[in-house]
Chain A
């Protein structure tokens, strides 16, 4: 039942985004708002239909969620921490990039991830070297990407 309720919350969130967009667009001239008003109106009706379908699904099938046939299978929680584990890695990398910068954060992330999940030192070093050389070779050397200044650089 919990998954079914989550589903309704997500649909409601999408509906609120569409209603919010419609509300904001009413202040604009026709040239800027025509597509929002046209599709937003349809979107509100469709959200209502989807909410009714979600509610009906909870009533009739418990917490089951209809999955798109031709899309990849919906993500299910796995293991003790489910998807939280990889989300923690992603947010950790996000903050590490801001804190110590791209050129250090990415190779360190690759090395730590491979080692902590049981990879050999050889695999870890090879993948770190590949990532590092890609970062420095392609982006730094050829494309001259202006990496953002890390937060720590402001202190030292």
Chain B
């Protein structure tokens, strides 16, 4: 294991990989502090590029570097203009923006950067520590267990990615259906291709991701006309913010654990992690009367947690090939395209690549924090870019990326079709992550189901581990529904 760790470190520190990592960190940070341009949208835009790369280390350096730091830079807009740069920094607004209003913007920013750094490193360490435990577990699984796990992944994301569980599950099913389009190599059947040769190769995930995520965000940004609120002053207390984090180390540790746990569970993304952490801080800390009015502990809790989540997110992604959310689903797609095989191989023959992911998480967080700390003032000014400077380049990149997926002019038509679907899904409150996850896992799910059926008939349903996993799956469906019903009942009693 030590050799693999060293190999991973040497790999990501090679000049080419390191340059790609820095590029990923820059893009991730830029995306982070530009409200309206989400991490998944940018990852989707990057997919056509990375799929042309041959070296898996470069892909890891670029995409993991980008994914790891999105939440670090998003604190700029959350604190200074009360607009979250990413979904993971929503709770930061609650105390960060009041601090900026009180003239302590610099203190809030430095506290958030240092908390993000330490949270991110903690997440990577947990990923590292989990490897010896995961290896025997993953190697004991065969197709029936993996089928239930893939089903569980889609179900969890469907149930938990919104308060619309039925819509989420339907989105997941739709995603699996889209993944089946094309010529089925095993049976030779043409599925949902309707005699159109373009469909024989299947529908490219790049098109779906760009259409479902990038265009609806652009529509939203263009529709809002980018009227960003007046900026608060940069303020004072830059060094004090750093000291605050170390004075509240116990809070940071607890909220980082929450972040890792939320990341580990499929379906719960950074958009919920920061709220969990913030709620935990408010419930457990002493002298809580200042929360919501500009308490630095609110910033530390939220920012430490949302970066720690990334390490937790990569545990199921790498070990089981089951991504925890949209970003990791897109990263997983790129991994598979360049020959990285998530699953047991990542803990055996490709262990060096797993360590490359861990090292990238650590180093990318250090680089992002350094950039944010050193260039805080000039970066803060970029946050105020108007919508007309963001929308056209993003649209241009989306169209180029869609065409570059297959170099086919039908790709653009496909982009417009999935953009329309994404727009309506967002308009009517349908979570979009389950659709993408269903598409990513659809092939595997089908393969594992078929292998289980042909090898064991229906007896695979009686395997002990399968029974345990099915019970967990049922519990994960029933528990959120029961708790939401109990909450609703409680609310109506309170109103009465």
Q: Is B458 an interface residue (CB 8 A)?
A: no
Whether the Cβ atoms of B431 and A71 lie closer than 8 Å is yes
CB distance from B263 to the nearest CB of A (A): 14
Whether the Cβ atoms of B388 and A117 lie closer than 8 Å is yes
A71: contacting residue among B162, B268, B400, CB under 8 A? B162
Q: With A and B bound together, what is the CA distance between A43 and B191 in angstroms? A: 18
Q: With A and B bound together, what is the CA distance between A106 and B399 in angstroms? A: 9
Interface residues of B in 262-308 (CB under 8 A from A): 268-269, 271-272
Interface residues of A in 10-33 (CB under 8 A from B): 10-11, 14, 17-18, 21, 24-25, 28-29, 31-32
Q: With A and B bound together, what is the CA distance between A69 and B431 in angstroms? A: 9
Q: With A and B bound together, what is the CA distance between A53 and B164 in angstroms? A: 10
Which residues of the other chain, B, contact A139 by a CB distance below 8 angstroms?
400, 404
Which residues of the other chain, B, contact A75 by a CB distance below 8 angstroms?
216, 219-220, 223, 423, 426-427
Which residues of the other chain, A, contact B404 by a CB distance below 8 angstroms?
139, 143, 145
Which residues of the other chain, B, contact A146 by a CB distance below 8 angstroms?
407
User: How many residues from A make CB contacts under 8 Å with B?
Assistant: 73
Quick one: CB contact mask for A119-155 with B, threshold 8 Å, 1 for yes?
1000100010011001100110001011010000000
Complex: chain B residue closest to A82, CB-CB: B223
CB distance from B426 to the nearest CB of A (A): 5
**Which of B180, B392, B393, B419 has the most chain A CB atoms closer than 10 A to its own CB?**
B392
Which residues of the other chain, B, contact A69 by a CB distance below 8 angstroms?
162-163, 272
Whether the Cβ atoms of A70 and B162 lie closer than 8 Å is yes
What are 12 A-B pairs at a CB distance below 8 A? A34-B449, A67-B429, A71-B161, A74-B426, A74-B428, A75-B220, A79-B225, A90-B419, A113-B392, A114-B392, A117-B225, A131-B393
CB distance from B200 to the nearest CB of A (A): 14
Q: With A and B bound together, what is the CA distance between A104 and B208 in angstroms? A: 26
Complex: chain A residue closest to B166, CB-CB: A50
Quick one: CB contact mask for A19-62 with B, threshold 8 Å, 1 for yes?
00100110011011011101110110011011001000000000
Quick one: CB contact mask for B27-48 with A, threshold 8 Å, 1 for yes?
0000000000010000000000
Q: With A and B bound together, what is the CA distance between A25 and B184 in angstroms? A: 12
Whether the Cβ atoms of A32 and B396 lie closer than 8 Å is no
Quick one: CB contact mask for B165-204 with A, threshold 8 Å, 1 for yes?
0111110011011001000101101011000000000000
Known: A69-B163, A86-B219, A148-B409. 5 other contacts (CB 8 A): A17-B177, A75-B219, A82-B223, A83-B423, A110-B393
Interface residues of B in 436-486 (CB under 8 A from A): 442, 445-446, 449-450, 453
Given contacts A42-B173, A90-B215, A98-B409, contact A74 B189 (CB under 8 A): no
Q: With A and B bound together, what is the CA distance between A21 and B187 in angstroms? A: 18
Which residues of the other chain, A, contact B176 by a CB distance below 8 angstroms?
35, 39
Given contacts A75-B223, A97-B399, A106-B400, contact A119 B389 (CB under 8 A): yes
Q: With A and B bound together, what is the CA distance between A83 and B219 in angstroms? A: 7
Whether the Cβ atoms of A29 and B170 lie closer than 8 Å is no
Nearest 4 interchain pairs by C-beta: A68-B162, A117-B388, A86-B222, A32-B189
Quick one: CB contact mask for A66-104 with B, threshold 8 Å, 1 for yes?
111111101101110011011101110110011000100
Whether the Cβ atoms of A34 and B173 lie closer than 8 Å is no
**Which of A69, A87, A106, A109 has the most chain B CB atoms closer than 10 A to its own CB?**
A69
Whether the Cβ atoms of A31 and B187 lie closer than 8 Å is yes
B170: contacting residue among A31, A35, A43, A71, CB under 8 A? A43
Which residues of the other chain, B, contact A47 by a CB distance below 8 angstroms?
170
Chain B positions within 8 Å of A, measured between CB atoms, are: 38, 49, 52, 87, 160-164, 166-170, 173-174, 176-177, 180, 184, 186-187, 189, 191-192, 215-220, 222-225, 268-269, 271-272, 386-389, 391-393, 395-397, 399-400, 403-404, 407, 409, 412, 416, 419, 423-424, 426-433, 442, 445-446, 449-450, 453
Which residues of the other chain, B, contact A89 by a CB distance below 8 angstroms?
222, 395
Q: With A and B bound together, what is the CA distance between A86 and B170 in angstroms? A: 28
Whether the Cβ atoms of B388 and A102 lie closer than 8 Å is no
Q: With A and B bound together, what is the CA distance between A116 and B168 in angstroms? A: 39
Chain A positions within 8 Å of B, measured between CB atoms, are: 6-7, 10-11, 14, 17-18, 21, 24-25, 28-29, 31-32, 34-36, 38-40, 42-43, 46-47, 49-50, 53, 65-72, 74-75, 77-79, 82-83, 85-87, 89-91, 93-94, 97-98, 102, 106, 109-110, 113-114, 117-119, 123, 127, 130-131, 134-135, 138-139, 143, 145-146, 148
CB distance from A53 to the nearest CB of B (A): 7
Which residues of the other chain, A, contact B397 by a CB distance below 8 angstroms?
134
Given contacts A91-B416, A94-B416, A145-B403, contact A119 B223 (CB under 8 A): no
Which residues of the other chain, B, contact A83 by a CB distance below 8 angstroms?
219, 223, 423
Q: With A and B bound together, what is the CA distance between A114 and B445 in angstroms? A: 45
Q: With A and B bound together, what is the CA distance between A12 and B101 in angstroms? A: 48
Given contacts A18-B173, A31-B187, A75-B426, contact A38 B449 (CB under 8 A): yes
CB distance from A144 to the nearest CB of B (A): 10
A72: contacting residue among B160, B191, B220, CB under 8 A? B220
Q: With A and B bound together, what is the CA distance between A74 and B424 in angstroms? A: 9
B429: contacting residue among A24, A29, A68, CB under 8 A? A68
Given contacts A75-B220, A86-B222, contact A24 B192 (CB under 8 A): yes
Q: With A and B bound together, what is the CA distance between A78 and B226 in angstroms? A: 12
Which residues of the other chain, A, contact B403 by a CB distance below 8 angstroms?
102, 145, 148
Whether the Cβ atoms of A66 and B423 lie closer than 8 Å is no
Whether the Cβ atoms of B189 and A28 lie closer than 8 Å is yes
CB distance from A61 to the nearest CB of B (A): 13
